Amino acid sequence: GWWSIRRDGPFEKDGIPYFLFSYDGLLPPYSEERKYITAIRDHYLTVTLAQYEWPKIHFRFDRAAILIIYFFKSLRVRDLDNRNRKYLIDAIKKTRIINDDNWQTVTLIEKGIFSNHDDHIKVYVLDERYLPEFLALNEFITGKNDNR
């Protein structure tokens, strides 16, 4: 895949370290079917772990902000809260850059953006204290950096 170049540390923009994860397609809707859940969990874990050289990374955010940006190829209306983000966040937790994914340690933001490319997702993980400055770097939340 296009994410096959593995990084050995976080990105940095204006002194703000962050991790960027990219995923083809959109998050699937919720389902109770065990086989489906296992496939989703395994997919996001595999793709997440493949994007960085984790043995070389000793980086952890005590209080993290996670921004999930959905890039939609179509203008069709879709509810963000119908997307199953649990296994994507659990995969990020497995990297150990966040301690846990509970409300005391993670701030979660989701945004949808129209894209000329195929449906895809970008997930930014950063220290929560840098969240206002990071959001002020408008390119991250408008899709202007969507250079797939």
Model confidence at 1: pLDDT above 50: no
**What is the token pair recorded at 24?**
């083809």
- Select the more confidently predicted residue: 2 or 22: 22
The whole-angstrom separation of Cα 135 and Cα 61 is: 17
DSSP state of 27: P
Q: What is the pLDDT of residues 24-45, one digit of tens each?
A: 887 766 667 888 789 889 999 9
Q: What is the pLDDT of residues 67-106, one digit of tens each?
A: 999 888 866 666 556 567 888 999 999 999 999 999 999 9
At position 38, the amino acid (one-letter code) is T
Q: Parallel, antiparallel, or unpaired for β 120-127 and 64-72?
A: antiparallel
User: Cα 60–66–67 angle (5° rounding)?
Assistant: 145
49 alpha carbon, distance to own chain's centre = 12
Model confidence at 47: pLDDT above 60: yes
- The DSSP element (H or E) to which 32 belongs, if any, is none
Model confidence at 143: pLDDT above 80: no
Q: CB-based burial of residue 25 (10 Å sphere; 0-12 exposed, 13-18 middle, 19+ buried)?
A: exposed
**What is the token pair recorded at 29?**
């809707």
At position 46, the amino acid (one-letter code) is T
- pTM, two decimals, is 0.85
User: pLDDT grade, residue 4 (50/70/90)?
Assistant: low
Q: What is the pLDDT of residues 112-136, one digit of tens each?
A: 888 887 888 999 999 999 999 999 8
Q: What is the pLDDT of residue 102?
A: 95
Q: What is the pLDDT of residue 118?
A: 86
The whole-angstrom separation of Cα 31 and Cα 56 is: 36
Q: Are 17 and 124 in contact, with CB atoms under 8 Å apart?
A: no
The whole-angstrom separation of Cα 103 and Cα 120 is: 26
